[in-house]
Amino acid sequence: MDAFLVSTGLVALAEMGDRTQLLAFLLAARYQRPAPIILAILLATLANHAAAGALGTWLTTLLGPEALRWVLGISFIAMAAWMLKPDEIDDTKAVATRFGVFGTTFITFFLAEIGDKTQIATVALAAQYQSLLWVVVGTTLGMMIANVPAVYVGDKLAGRLPISLIHKVAACIFAALGIAVLLGVGESMGL
């Protein structure tokens, strides 16, 4: 259950102001059809995070416990630093509308998520918790928590959220998690 709750919370915070959330705003403003946009975001996120989670789980078979602890701890601390850098989205990244609302959203969202903070976090969380299903379900829910409101309220919500504060809180959580992993906190509990 920890894997699910931590994954959901971290990704929901990390996604605030992220380029994929900005993409959700852009797609919602352009197409004004929330249902296919939300469904495409859900399926693109599931596909992307399942692959990322599988990679994280696979990494645990390659690295010994001590090496994995250092890789994960440093990865979480790097994520904390990355959270402090604001994202931007380039409008030209959108795929031609020949794919329709669903296809365009799925393709652009899947591609935008490659190498994104939340995808890297999914790799690290899957390796940390060694619970592919709960991490992927949690990170996907976190993405939906951040992106569904973005689709429905678009830029009205963007101006009201304290994005800088949200990024700082997420950075602190990632840093604390990284330090805890480096210190071995939770090892006796199987975390």
Per-residue pLDDT of 21-47, as tens digits, reads: 878 887 887 777 899 999 999 999 999
169 compared with 46, residue with greater pLDDT: 46
Tell me the C-alpha distance between 84 and 135, whole Å: 23
Is the per-residue pLDDT at 100 higher than 80? yes
For the chain, what is the mean pLDDT? 79
Is the per-residue pLDDT at 91 higher than 70? no
Give the H or E element holding residue 24: helix 19-31
Is the per-residue pLDDT at 97 higher than 90? no
CB atoms within 10 A of CB 23: 25
pLDDT digits 0-9 by tens, 116-149: 888 888 998 998 888 999 999 999 999 999 999 9
57 compared with 1, residue with greater pLDDT: 57
What SS3 class is residue 191? Answer: coil
- Which residue in 24, 57, 9, 4 sits closest to 174, CA to CA? 9
Helix axes 117-129, 2-15, angle to 10 degrees: 170
176 compared with 136, residue with greater pLDDT: 136
Q: What is the pLDDT of residue 136?
A: 96
Q: What is the pLDDT of residue 49?
A: 95
Is the per-residue pLDDT at 89 higher than 70? no
Q: What is the pLDDT of residue 92?
A: 35
Kindly report which listed range (5-9, 14-18, 96-100) carries the lowest average pLDDT score. Answer: 96-100
